[in-house]
Amino acid sequence: MKQLKLTGFVIFLFFLTESLTLSTKPQDVDDVSITKKFIEENVGYITIIIFAQYIQEASFEEVEMLVKTMTEYRDKCLADMTLPECSELANDVLLENICALEGLPQKHNFSHCCSKVDLEKKLCFFHHKKADVGFLPPLPTLDPEEKCQTYKNNRESFLNNYIYEVSRRNPFVFAPTLLTVAARFEEMTKTCCEEQDKANCFRTKAEPVIQYLKASSSFQKNVCGALIKFGLQVLESINIAILSQKFPKIEFKELTSLLEDVSSKYDGCCEGDAVQCIRGRSKVMSHICLKQDSISSKIKECCEKKIPERGECIISSNKDDRPKDLSLREAKFTESENVCEERDANQTSFMAEFLYEYSRRHPELSTPELLRIAGVYEDLLKEGCHTENPPDCYRHVEHRFNETTEKSLKIVQRECERSQNLGKEDLKYYYLIKLTKIAPQLSTEELTFLGKEMVTALTTCCTLSEEFACVDNLMDLVLGELCGINENRNINPDVDHCCKTNFAFRRSCFEGLEADKAYVPPSTFQGLFTFHTDLCQAHKEELQRKKDRFLVNVVKLKPELPDAELRSLLTDFTNVVVKCCQAEGPEACFNEEGPKGSQ
């Protein structure tokens, strides 16, 4: 059951607001003033995040120049808030200063963004972000002793550099999340630098931090992709489903009020406006705790905690108990004679209330499945409300809901059976081949990442009592990674159709995809069958990464081959590595054996 916490954590992630230096005062203080103070104290970290996410190619030295400029701006405005420049929005000031750095816009190819104004300017910088960070050098790694000495000598520079490196590699992660990661990294550094076996300490304590960042990134990219590609209504549907399951006793009117705070903050968070994102999240947290009596009985202790801890507490709290007087179904949507009239009076509100009522009654369903049910109901009413006797159309709609869930359940069952039959490694190879065949245009790095994430979803969820919701939620996040955030991301017509046509039903759409027949493979793949002795020195994990990359690149080169033949080429690669690394002259062996694979 411990693993399942990750799923609830991912699905409820947008409530987290933590920081490195946020004042630790009780809940009854003015949250607005605390948030303001937090932003002022963390202006350096916030500047690094925004700059490194927008201009990922920028050097650390260039980022430090902007930090100096923005810190001076803060000090000037704290001294005299009546200055004209102090009335501007923080994100606008930051973008102006990025553009003012001499030669930088030309060097990093964003001068066209600097010539734009207001929203166009902000969106231009947003579209400059690159999800595939393969163009960046490998993440620098320090020896544990060296890491501790660097932290001891200059804590600020050490943390600044860490935030810079993580931010540029995670351009769509929300600023509060990155600040949380940095806080946990510093906590880990303090602890491990006191240990005798520093290397083992860092290795052990880094894993949950990495998982937290990955889970946060996946969820945030998914909801931002939904907002940008499908609009506010789909985003609100996602939030209705999540909140109604988490807080089943909340009244619809209160939910609607909370939704205004939750949904409005996404514009800033998704576009990379760190200050607006932080303010929005703080407002959401305050709303939940202020109205906790009418929202949930499970968060009283959380809301009594100091501000940095309360977000984590609410996220990890269990779903509230279903109200005892809550009927198994809401008759208003199936039994009433006036369903069509109520729908026509305010279609958006009517469908929101339906999703709320259905979600709070079905904690066992995934978020995508709840959206599918709502879609089925909406389509049925569109058709049925124009018939002579509408009640005949919607009175037996429950069986349509059951059919929809049954189809989704069968997909999950097939995937879990495959996971059980193949085992972890063979399952990964299955997905690497499948994903590369349907989307060969993606980079090798993206495809290997997606393949591993598919396996993680299934090995985490299959066999759990909540198997269906867990698998469906996590697999949907992987598809969100594949589809990406930007609406102008194009992979190939079939994949684009699944990504952009219907958010709720994209899983079943992808299920039916076959190899991209329009794809023209390269005539050769430079160095694919050229191996060297570095394979003999590679650690187990590094060798596995090379095998995964080899398989993906072979599929890109020879997509017409059946899966069994592609797996056979991977087996040949493994055998060559074993044979040549045991030979007296490994390099000569690789030179002889490697080219045979291309024949």
28 is in an annotated binding site: no
Whether 352 shows a pLDDT value over 90: the answer reads yes
Q: Is 385 helix (H, G, I), strand (E, B) or coil?
A: coil
**Count of all residues that appear for the chain in the document:** 599
More confident residue, 54 or 306: 54
Report the pLDDT value the prediction gives residue 6, as an integer from 0 to 100: 44
Give the rounded distance of the alpha carbon of 307 from its chain centre: 24
Using alpha carbons only, how large is the chain's radius of gyration in Å? 26
pLDDT band at 351 (very low <50, low <70, confident <90, very high): very high
pLDDT band at 446 (very low <50, low <70, confident <90, very high): very high
Tell me what the mean pLDDT of segment 242-264 comes to.
90
pLDDT band at 180 (very low <50, low <70, confident <90, very high): confident
Q: Is 254 helix (H, G, I), strand (E, B) or coil?
A: helix
Written as one letter, the residue type at 23 is S
Task: Spell out the SS3 assignment of 446-491.
Answer: HHHHHHHHHHHHHHHHCCCCCHHHHHHHHHHHHHHHHHCCCCCCCC
DSSP per position, 100-121: HSTTHHHHTT-HHHHT--HHHH
Whether 465 shows a pLDDT value over 90: the answer reads no
More confident residue, 78 or 23: 78
Report the pLDDT value the prediction gives residue 472, as an integer from 0 to 100: 96
Tell me what the mean pLDDT of segment 363-373 comes to.
96
Whether 8 shows a pLDDT value over 50: the answer reads no
Whole-number average pLDDT of the chain: 87
pLDDT band at 599 (very low <50, low <70, confident <90, very high): low
- Angle formed at CA 484 by CA 220 and CA 116, multiple of 5 degrees: 90
Tell me what the mean pLDDT of segment 344-354 comes to.
95
Whether 329 shows a pLDDT value over 90: the answer reads no
Closest C-alpha to 296, from 309, 280, 310, 279: 310
Q: What is the token pair recorded at 319?
A: 């779903």
145 C-beta neighbours (distance < 10 Å), count: 11
Are 307 and 205 in contact by the 8 Å Cβ rule? The answer is no
pLDDT band at 598 (very low <50, low <70, confident <90, very high): low
Whether 469 shows a pLDDT value over 80: the answer reads yes
Cα–Cα distances in Å, from 586 out to 527, 547, 594? 17, 18, 11
Model pLDDT for residues 183-204, shown as the tens digit of each residue: 899 999 999 999 999 999 999 9
Written as one letter, the residue type at 521 is P
